[in-house]
Structure 1
Amino acid sequence: MNENKMNPNAKLTFLERFAYGIGDYAGNLVYSAISAFLLVYYTNVVGASAAAAASIIAISKFFDGISDLVMGYIIDHTHSKWGKARPWIARLCVPLAVCTVLMFTVPTAFVGKTQLAYMFLTYNLVSTIFYTGINVPYATLNGLMTTNQYERGLLGNFRNLLATAGTMTINTVVLKMTAAFGGGDVYSQKGWTLTFVVLMIVFVVLNMFTFFMCKERVVEGGSTQKEAKENQVSFIKGIKGLFVNKYWVLLVIAIFAMYFMMSCFFGSAVFFAQYNVGNAGKYAIISNCLSIAQIAFLFVTPFIMKKVSKKNLFMCGMAVSGIGFLLSGFTTDVTMTCVLSVVKGMGFACGGASMFGLLQDAITYGEWYNGYGTAGMGNAASSFCMKVGSGIGTAALGWVLGFGGFDAKKAVQSAKSLAAINWSFAWIPFIMVVIVVVCMVFFDLDKKYDQVLADLEQGKHRKDN
């Protein structure tokens, strides 16, 4: 079957939705491993200094952001029988798996500058090149599988649900596997290498499952591959097309605020438990209440999306989480904090279920508005904003704690330090959530989307009306 002749507004099967979500489960076998364990590996297994390891990761974020834009440009100029995005998942999953194993296998013979150079090279091969090379096409694939608004919302729901499951898998199994493969030693090099060999085999299998089960049905402008190649969009024109699309701009601001909020909030949670609550052991239950509520509520959001638009689900969900953050600023009681974690988790589920589907709708509107498509660039620039938002959110946490005079050597912090932690845990996230809600108030694309789709199906754009 010629995939370009499939119904672009198709209703997807459960298997295809699940296969799409599995792609983010697989992605989190790499992403969550880096987030949770790379610094631990560098310091406790390799013996590198925490400052040097953190500097490598921080400096590499700049290259990582640039590579997002490059990959977006590549996707927009990819024309194959498999589509624009899917081929990159199949092409790059094996190189990413190999490089991830190498990243967690720093040779013991390497010391000093040689060791740091190896760490820098393998980290950037993984994060800057190959992970970006798969993740940006994966995000773009949502908008290329169907133009159906509800289905795009469901794809975002499956993605968020299985991404969370992937994170929980990594958090649960990695140290158990390193101990098992290391003969009881959690921090042996052999244990870490074999652990990631196993995880990366699973990673490749899952990515190929996504590749074979998901189909691209949406062809920009209804073009044939030959016509598409004759109408290439330059890098500058693609960027310009994004910034004149007000809905894409609103989504990007909201996504930036979301990731800023999450980095600041999750980064401060352990400090809040240890110093404000007074018991570091309560961190796990506070965090798990949020994650469990988020996963549980993700099973409910598809039914809600049948009744309300993705925009309203996102806006109301963030408003609910905003209430959770607001009330968190006034309590250090463990029971109340756990209850508010559940409230936040419900709101996060609504955001995760709808955010990426809304992004694809905004990119589709951009094709109609501009007369040319920028699916790859639109997702890549959004990914760049996620990374910048996360990075600045983490930096903001450090700045706020520094302003509050936080001193890790002190068992009991000053009132000013405790206030700084509280700001990072509750008030700054609340402000970011308010920004998200305001952006969604002005996001009225659902009133125009059906006409946009009808025009695109007829090969018409804004200037043709």
Structure 2
Amino acid sequence: MKQETHKLSILEKVGYSLGDLAANLIFQTLMTFLAYFYTDIYKIPAGTASVVIFIGGFFGAFFNILMGIIADRTNTRWGKFRPWVLWTSIPFGVISLLAFTTPDFGETGKIIYASITYFLLVIIYSANNLPYSALSGVITGDMKERNSLSSYRFVAVMVAQFIIQSLLLPLALSLGHGDKAAGFEKVILFFAIVGVICFFITFLTTKERIQPASTTEKSTIRQDLTDLSKNRPWIIMLLVTILVFITLALKGGMYIYYFKYYLNPASQAAFLEEIGFNSFIGGLNQAITGLGLGKFEWPEDAPTSANSLFNAGGIIFMIIGIMFSKPLADKFGKRNIFGIFLSLSALCLIMFNFYSREAIGIVFITQILHGFTYGVTIPLLWAMIADVADYSELQNNRRATAMIFSAMIFGLKIGLSVGGAVGAALLSTYGYVAEKVEQTESTVSGIKMSVSIYPGLVFLIGALLLFGYEINKKMEVKLEAELKEKRNK
């Protein structure tokens, strides 16, 4: 292999990060609003929506393994992974729009349409995001530069998450003039156009520097799979990835129900008035109605307002947490920081179970703490997976970057599918009725548990698994030094 230590320009880091901004405009929508979109907008029964999300995501997850095999064996003048970002950009935009369009079919037709479009979306997401993620493992082999690249990348993710969790519903209401279905379609169309442009920029501004040497890199699919099965850090990171995304999908998809059906609407309205939020939105409405748009629905709809502000606060502090991630990881190692802050964020989630319906302020403070602690972990997951690729190369004298990342995105998809499906299934189990003003106490209790105890415990299990992950700070330094020496030879 060629020497792998390279300093990256700010332009390349920003250009790379835009690829995740593009993908996450859709991914965050799936994680946060898919169950809500199917049950409350497209009017698919909650139990059926659960099955659609689980089956579609499960088959999409297995496609990641195939995509990893294909990407590792792709050879073009542009590299192995960059071409896939380019090739899939326009199909990604088109299929995203189709998945959030609501044709007027009967119930069976709606289920078939939702199943097909969701399945196609997770397939194209894999074909795009697996090579994109693997690209981070071949842009540079410098551990500090890799940590820095991950930080840039996940600031972009947080920007997308802020847009989705804080602004998507108000934008949909505004652009649809109160019609959520029409508003969703218009917002996703805009996201699709922006996403295609961002993917093009990622392709144009990045470069694959770690090139495989033909004498050491040829391997069979069976060898790659055997290598993975013997790679303990990979197995642990696969399990951790599954658990993290189960949590994110479950809590993210249930927050809107927590605000709508558990927290007291009058208390939410009073809180928004006290902090000056309603005055701010009133001024904003005057500005945007002058542009010919419908006004945001926030002042009249306290739960939507509070949920959006709640998400915004968490995301802002996630971005602050990301800023602390690199210096902490450089000093103490990725594994230690990841485990500590994942545990702290889990405790914050669990606290949501113990607050009264009127405790709006403390709910917001806890979300800020959760956002910061979880934010520290965000860049570390993918940087650790790149380290696992280095570990595998040193152990096996072969580099299978895309295969390793494909397995992790497999875990992501499984986690997303299970978390989303569990959320919809819990709604069905606890007797949720879409758009019913007063839900039963059992339903409300289930919603509260679904944003607190259940996801918090899953996070804690993930943190405990990291005790078996052997790539600590000392091994990180050893891996970088030995691979640099090997490649220089």
TM-score normalized by structure 1? 0.83
Give the partner amino acid of 1:450: V
Aligned counterpart for 1:342 among listed residues 363, 368, 374: 368
Give the partner amino acid of 1:71: M
Q: Counterpart in 2 of 1:126?
A: 121
User: In 2, Cα distance between the equivalents of 1:126 and 1:58?
Assistant: 13
Instruction: Please say if residues 324 and 343 of structure 1, whose CA atoms lie closer than 8 Å, have aligned partners that are also in contact.
Output: yes
Instruction: Please say if residues 251 and 359 of structure 1, whose CA atoms lie closer than 8 Å, have aligned partners that are also in contact.
Output: yes
Give the partner amino acid of 1:209: I
1:24-423 maps to which residues of 2 (within 5 A)?
24-35=20-31, 55-104=51-100, 117-128=112-123, 130-171=124-165, 184=177, 186=179, 195-220=187-212, 223-224=213-214, 227=215, 231-234=218-221, 236-279=222-265, 281=303, 282-332=306-356, 333-397=359-423, 411=438, 413-414=440-441, 420-423=446-449
Deviation at 1:100, TM superposition (A): 2.9
Instruction: Please say if residues 93 and 196 of structure 2, whose CA atoms lie closer than 8 Å, have aligned partners that are also in contact.
Output: yes
Instruction: Please say if residues 22 and 195 of structure 2, whose CA atoms lie closer than 8 Å, have aligned partners that are also in contact.
Output: yes
Which range moves more in the overlay, 275-284 or 240-249?
275-284
Q: Counterpart in 2 of 1:426?
A: 452
Greater relative contact order, per chain length (Cα 8 Å cut-off, separation 6+): 2
Q: Which runs of 5+ in 2 are unaligned?
A: 269-302
1:194/1:83 Cα in 2 relative to 1: closer, same or farther (>3 Å)? same
Which range moves more in the overlay, 205-214 or 267-276?
267-276
1:448/1:37 Cα in 2 relative to 1: closer, same or farther (>3 Å)? closer
User: In 2, Cα distance between the equivalents of 1:193 and 1:214?
Assistant: 32
Q: Counterpart in 2 of 1:463?
A: none
User: In 1, Cα distance between the equivalents of 2:33 and 2:349?
Assistant: 28
Give the partner amino acid of 1:86: R
Deviation at 1:61, TM superposition (A): 1.6
SS at match of 1:26: helix
User: In 2, Cα distance between the equivalents of 1:103 and 1:430?
Assistant: 30
Q: Counterpart in 2 of 1:11?
A: 7
1:21/1:450 Cα in 2 relative to 1: closer, same or farther (>3 Å)? same
User: In 2, Cα distance between the equivalents of 1:431 and 1:13?
Assistant: 40
Q: Counterpart in 1 of 2:300?
A: none
SS at match of 2:74: coil
User: In 2, Cα distance between the equivalents of 1:243 and 1:291?
Assistant: 36
Instruction: Please say if residues 247 and 458 of structure 2, whose CA atoms lie closer than 8 Å, have aligned partners that are also in contact.
Output: yes
User: In 2, Cα distance between the equivalents of 1:268 and 1:106?
Assistant: 22
Instruction: Please say if residues 35 and 424 of structure 2, whose CA atoms lie closer than 8 Å, have aligned partners that are also in contact.
Output: no
Which range moves more in the overlay, 449-458 or 307-316?
449-458
* Root-mean-square deviation over aligned CA pairs: 3.4
Deviation at 1:181, TM superposition (A): 6.6
User: In 2, Cα distance between the equivalents of 1:335 and 1:362?
Assistant: 41
Which range moves more in the overlay, 333-342 or 396-405?
396-405
Task: Confirm or deny that 1:20 pairs with 2:13.
Answer: no
Instruction: Please say if residues 175 and 186 of structure 1, whose CA atoms lie closer than 8 Å, have aligned partners that are also in contact.
Output: no
Give the partner amino acid of 1:82: W
User: In 1, Cα distance between the equivalents of 2:374 and 2:196?
Assistant: 29
Deviation at 1:23, TM superposition (A): 0.9
Q: Counterpart in 2 of 1:449?
A: 476
1:194-226 Cα offsets, whole Å, 9 max, x none, are 654443232121111111111111234xx04xx
SS at match of 1:300: helix
Give the partner amino acid of 1:131: Y
Q: Which runs of 5+ in 1 are unaligned?
A: 461-465
Which range moves more in the overlay, 94-103 or 193-202?
193-202
Which range moves more in the overlay, 431-440 or 139-148?
431-440
SS at match of 1:448: helix
User: In 2, Cα distance between the equivalents of 1:441 and 1:298?
Assistant: 23
1:232-253 Cα offsets, whole Å, 9 max, x none, are 321x332221121111111112
Q: How many residues are paired up?
A: 445
Deviation at 1:277, TM superposition (A): 3.5
Which range moves more in the overlay, 275-284 or 62-71?
275-284
1:78-106 Cα offsets, whole Å, 9 max, x none, are 12222211110011112222333444556
User: In 2, Cα distance between the equivalents of 1:396 and 1:78?
Assistant: 36
Give the partner amino acid of 1:288: A
1:21-73 Cα offsets, whole Å, 9 max, x none, are 11110112222344456667667887777766665443322221121111111
TM-score normalized by structure 2? 0.79
Which range moves more in the overlay, 404-413 or 267-276?
404-413
User: In 2, Cα distance between the equivalents of 1:320 and 1:211?
Assistant: 37
